[in-house]
Amino acid sequence: MPIHHIASCRLPTRFAEFELHGFQDPASGHEHLALTLGDIGDGLPVLCRVHSECMTGDALFSQRCDCGAQLAAALERIAARGRGVVLYLRQEGRGIGLMNKIRAYGLQDAGADTVEANARLGFAADLRDYAMCGPMLAHVRVASIELMTNNPRKLDALREAGVVVAGRIGLVHGVNPHNRRYLATKAAKLGHLFGPASGIGPEAEVLP
């Protein structure tokens, strides 16, 4: 899948000074970002977070999800290691868009869980596409990744898209009373792995 690199620049943050790379998918017109730090072109596995945009969590500090906390934790871990990459993908609400996400939240306010809400709106539980990740990683010279995620399906999707995933590192952050049911639904219905310390379940795996 072709993707166009548009521009790059320095991006100082409270975690570290990253390089910010902008891309555009010519098929959809969607714009995506990569934040890189350190020497990531040496062929060794690179610590990586593939993060789908969450306007409410990333920018508005919503506690209905754990997205903003996961993004901050990923950047902090990369800064501590001194090398890594975050792919920031513009596919809000697991691919349904911001307005439909707000509609889904309204259904959740009325009692539906996150999977049921998407179904009532006529959507699958997860419509995200990871086809652009391989070309983005290739552009920043990343050969393989250690993926920070609690979602084993994301590993499968990335591998199907041609990304070499050397391993998975759990990223359990931002659990609070407002999102505990949401996270439990992701564990029970979408197969996310949180580990016994989270109190969410399933507890079959102890995350690194």
Residues within the annotated binding site for Zn(2+)? 54, 65, 67
Tokens representing residue 195 in the block: 């580990």
Instruction: Reply yes or no on whether 128 is catalytic.
Output: yes
Catalytic residue among 25, 58, 66, 126: 126
Choosing from 128, 141, 153, 181, the catalytic residue is 128
- Look up 66 and say whether it is catalytic: no
Give me the count of residues in the chain: 208
Annotated binding residues, as ranges? 49-54, 65, 67, 70, 92-94, 114, 149, 154
- For the annotated catalytic residues, the residue numbers are 126, 128
